[in-house]
Copies of this chain bind each other. A is one copy, B any other.
Amino acid sequence: MTRDTLKNRMGKRRIDLRELKRDAGSRIVMLVVDGLGGYPHPDTGLSELETASLPNLDSIAGESACGLTIPIAPGITPGSGPGHMALFGYMPTRHRVGRGVMEALGIGLDLAEGDVAARGNFCVADGDGRLLDRRAGRIPSERSDELVALLDGIDVPGHKVSVHAVRDHRFVAVFHNIGPSSEATDTDPGLDGHMPLESQPVGPDSEELARAVNAFVAGSHEALKGKEAQAVALRGISSPPVLPSFPERFGLRPAAIAAYPMYRGLARLAGMDVLSTGRDFASELDTLKAVYEEAEHDFFFLHYKPADAAGEDGDFNGKVAALEALDSMLPQVLALDPDVLVIAGDHSTPAVFGGHSWHPVPLAIRSKLTKGDGAAAFTERSMASGSIGTVKAMSVMTLAMAHAGRLKKSGP
């Protein structure tokens, strides 16, 4: 029984947007502010959004349908992968992006169908192969680059394995042409002082992968003999998810504009056209303006990173400044007058937590159909009483499509 048959027999039929979509000729800009949501500072009782001076965002909130999004589920803190998958309309628990794939996307590798990526660490090991330090003293990139070159030459019979430096003790190993939907368990034991684990296949199509992984690890002992790090630990070993095509699902011709490779990679997984752009948001805006009037795309995913980066650093004032910098550039987006402007976040990154969190994330959808619904300011508290309510982030694309006039009525 296929999954679809099972679903029909269960009668658990979800809304299939492919049945409802229509081409209204309208255009959607989705600005994803990475780590958008925050949390009140203990001294002031005000969050980053409440502290910052954000005249444009506040004005957009006043003209928009507003609400909060839950990236995965209440209380669940998402990584960037599920955070973006949800905003692109994919069920984040179903369409998983492994750690190896995320690292590969993060350094701009373009994984082909059938490739499998693993995140690797260089380790210090004793004579028995026990991993004494799974980060090899955070060996700096200058010295680990040489080790990467040694691994890149390992012979794994029947397969090509390429190894790519990430930073310091981290690398990515790509097992080429293994076959789609392969996954194998980690060789990283997760704790110092333990022997590396043998990788096991996850599911029936992954035996070839596990064999290749274990052959690569065996080869690494030989290659690294007498070096500063003598072993490797691999984790997050899987092929990229095979996603239903975003263009096909939504009937949109999407363009992704993102300065950071990881977000370009996530967009490419969904089947978006990834446009070349510069290294910051100002360059992204130049790219957007250059392509907006061409008829080639009608959906534009725009990514803003600095808010998350400051939040991760625990830098409250830095995050405030990053939000204010974004705000000052928004008139360039508004000048394009897109039919629908979505401002969303992949997750919250409160500076007071110094990392991602599970808190619902502000959402504004501005269209010709919105006149504002009372959100007086672009803040977590104000959005909580917006007309959209608190919804799953997976619903954002549906709401965007509705506001774009791109959905027919469901049911008679």
Q: Which residues of A contact B (CB under 8 A)?
A: 3, 6-15, 20, 39-40, 42, 45, 67-68, 70, 72-82, 92-94, 96-99, 102-103, 203, 236, 353, 355-360, 369, 371-374, 380-381, 384-392, 395, 398-403, 407-412
Contacts and interface: CB of A to CB of B under 8 A. Distances in A.
The 5 A-B pairs with the shortest beta carbon distances in the complex, nearest first, are: A389-B390, A75-B398, A74-B395, A75-B402, A75-B399
A353 B405 CA distance: 11
A399 B76 CA distance: 8
A52 to B, nearest CB: 18
B395 A384 contact: no
A325 to B, nearest CB: 26
Given A76-B20, A359-B387, A93 B409 contact: no
Contacts of A11: 3, 94
B388 A391 contact: no
Contact of A411 (B15, B97, B402): B97
12 contacts: A3-B9, A13-B96, A39-B369, A67-B390, A72-B411, A74-B391, A79-B412, A96-B411, A103-B412, A360-B388, A384-B386, A385-B385
A355 B369 CA distance: 13
Contacts of A408: 77
Q: Chain A: interface secondary structure? A: loop
Contacts of A68: 387, 389
Contacts of A399: 74-75, 358
B360 A387 contact: yes
B380 A373 contact: yes
Contacts of A98: 412
A198 B15 CA distance: 26
A412 B398 CA distance: 25
A410 B374 contact: no
B10 A9 contact: no
A238 to B, nearest CB: 11
Given A13-B96, A15-B73, A381-B387, 11 more contacts: A3-B11, A8-B203, A15-B93, A20-B76, A72-B411, A75-B403, A75-B407, A356-B409, A358-B402, A360-B387, A384-B387
B373 A384 contact: yes
A407 B93 contact: no
A374 B384 contact: yes
Contacts of A385: 384-385
A84 to B, nearest CB: 10
A6 to B, nearest CB: 6
Given A6-B10, A9-B3, A82 B411 contact: yes
Contacts of A70: 389, 391
A14 B73 CA distance: 10
Most buried by B among A77, A103, A390, A412: A412
